[in-house]
Amino acid sequence: EGRRSLGIGMETADVGPGLCSASFNQDSTSLAVGTKTGYRLFSVTSVDKLDCIHESTETPDVYIVERLFSSSLVVVVSESMPRRMNVYHFKKGTEICNYSYSSNILAVRLNRQMNVCLCSLIESIYIHNIKDMKLLKTLLNTPSNPSGLCALSINHCNSFLAYPGSDTNGEIIVYDANNLSTVTMIPAHDSPLAAITFSASGTKLASASERGTVIRVFSIPEGLRLFEFRRGMKRYVNISSLSFSPDAQFLCASSNTETVHIFKLEQHSPSGEEDAPSWSAYVGKMFTAASSYLPAQVSGMMSQDRAFATVRLQMVGQKNVCTLAIIQKLPRLLVASSDGQLFIYNIDPQDGGECTLVQKHRLFGSDKDWEGTEKCELTEPPQACQTYAATVAIPTSGPVTATLTGYSEDGGAKKGEVIPEHEFAAGPVCLDDETEFPPINWCHDGSGRGKGRRP
């Protein structure tokens, strides 16, 4: 009781004034925030302008709000009714349906392709078909998970669920949400899990433990360790957020410290040889040779990669949630903090290093506060890149695309509208709100209170 999700695996007991939660949608084109008075939805497809596309004040103290891609479907849970999940069509101002559980809801995850809605409780997980809220599967007697930590991949071919397999160590259970069966168990860490996330393709899973010193990336569904990154050795931290870039070639991690780390998922040559031998390459080979004579713990630390890029936040000790996105054709890091601010940074995908703050927005406050949003000078690089790794040569086994399957609010162009590029669905079908999510005038708790309720 008292610990609330602040989006994408972020838990906190001390959120900022007026802010209860914050979460980016599945393709990082939208930001949803829960407040003491209701919730707000923002479009984050522009750097200079933060559009509030919807605001609701009907339900106070919203501590979970999840938007389904760029659709009009939003799931809301409030502190006044922490056991009930409400599904709204916010453009029409109607409640589609709701569902009640036996204990408090700790997290909600949405998956558009397979229409999966996942609800995490302290010792159980419920998987629904989001079209009619039919219960597909209940995972009972799961290890105690007071923060509701879980992750759901968004790929229609690799629809996987990940959740803690133990409350004493860092085991991860990977579950197939398509076939409703367990895939594998990954012994990821010695300490309990603090954060987990899938790549957009569902083929990689990143994790961090409560110690917060090491971040690991595994292949899915095999569960093989692919990468290991060291955030630091001086102190233990609480990693609150992990997020892959759209092309899964970068991974960002934020914590309760002032630094956000960005790691590069680069496969090194098996031979370890370089075209032009350098002193650093020579030292690296010496360390590799020496590690075979050292204890496993020491050699493991020597083999871990450091951050490719970093961000020094303007605040210290504030809980936050981060994501990597392509905005206006450039790679950006977005950080939403619990004090109600959104920071946007430029990333150099070739050289890394310290990222540049280009914009800062307020997420709540008076109209005067919104007009007074602090702006930073934006310096655009001369060349735009389509993906995070467009300017670096990274071998891949096949074509890489940063375009995620989207979800159009209107199911396609209507009345001559031009649907934004990010909303086009790359899959075989683009769902339509009218046919896939019709207004449902009933409730699963039998009360019949779902009719006509405004979000």
Residues 6+ away with beta carbon under 8 Å from 168: 192
Residues 6+ away with beta carbon under 8 Å from 396: none
Mean pLDDT within 327-338: 95
Beta bridge partners of 172: 164, 186
Q: Where are the beta strands (DSSP E) in 367-417?
A: none
* SS3 readout for 166-222: CCCCEEEEEEECCCCEEEEEEEEECCCEEEEEECCCCCEEEEEECCCCEEEEEECCC
Q: Which two tokens stand for residue 142?
A: 């799961």
Distance (Å, whole) CA 37 – CA 382: 43
Q: Which two tokens stand for residue 347?
A: 């990333």
Among 244, 251, 250, 5, which residue's Cα sits nearest to residue 118? 5
pLDDT of residue 78: 97
Percent of the chain predicted with pLDDT > 90: 54
pLDDT (tens digit per residue) in 99-118: 999 999 999 999 875 557 78
The tally of CA atoms less than 13 A away on the side-chain side of residue 356 is 15
Q: Please give the residue that has the higher pLDDT: either 167 or 274.
A: 167
Q: Which two tokens stand for residue 226?
A: 């692919």
pLDDT (tens digit per residue) in 389-408: 443 333 333 333 333 333 33
pLDDT of residue 115: 59
Q: Please give the residue that has the higher pLDDT: either 26 or 384.
A: 26
- List of domains in the chain: 19-100 (2.40.10)
The tally of CA atoms less than 13 A away on the side-chain side of residue 259 is 14
pLDDT of residue 103: 95
Distance (Å, whole) CA 217 – CA 251: 9
Q: Which helix (H) or strand (E) holds 280?
A: helix 279-291
Distance (Å, whole) CA 321 – CA 221: 26
Q: Which two tokens stand for residue 361?
A: 């927005």
DSSP-based three-state secondary structure for 227? strand
Provide the whole-model pTM. 0.76
Could you say which DSSP state residue 426 is in? Answer: -
Among 228, 380, 404, 393, which residue's Cα sits nearest to residue 300? 228
Distance (Å, whole) CA 406 – CA 161: 20
* SS3 readout for 85-154: EEEEECCCCEEEEEEECCCCCCEEEEECCCCEEEEECCCEEEEEECCCCEEEEEEECCCCCCCCCCEECC
Residue in the structure block whose two tokens are 């713990």: 297
Distance (Å, whole) CA 89 – CA 105: 20
Distance (Å, whole) CA 214 – CA 49: 36
DSSP-based three-state secondary structure for 163? strand
Q: Which two tokens stand for residue 191?
A: 């300490």
DSSP-based three-state secondary structure for 422? helix
For residue 440, is pLDDT > 90? Answer: no
Among 324, 327, 284, 274, which residue's Cα sits nearest to residue 304? 284
pLDDT of residue 68: 93
Is residue 197 within 8 Å of residue 26, measured between CB atoms? Answer: no
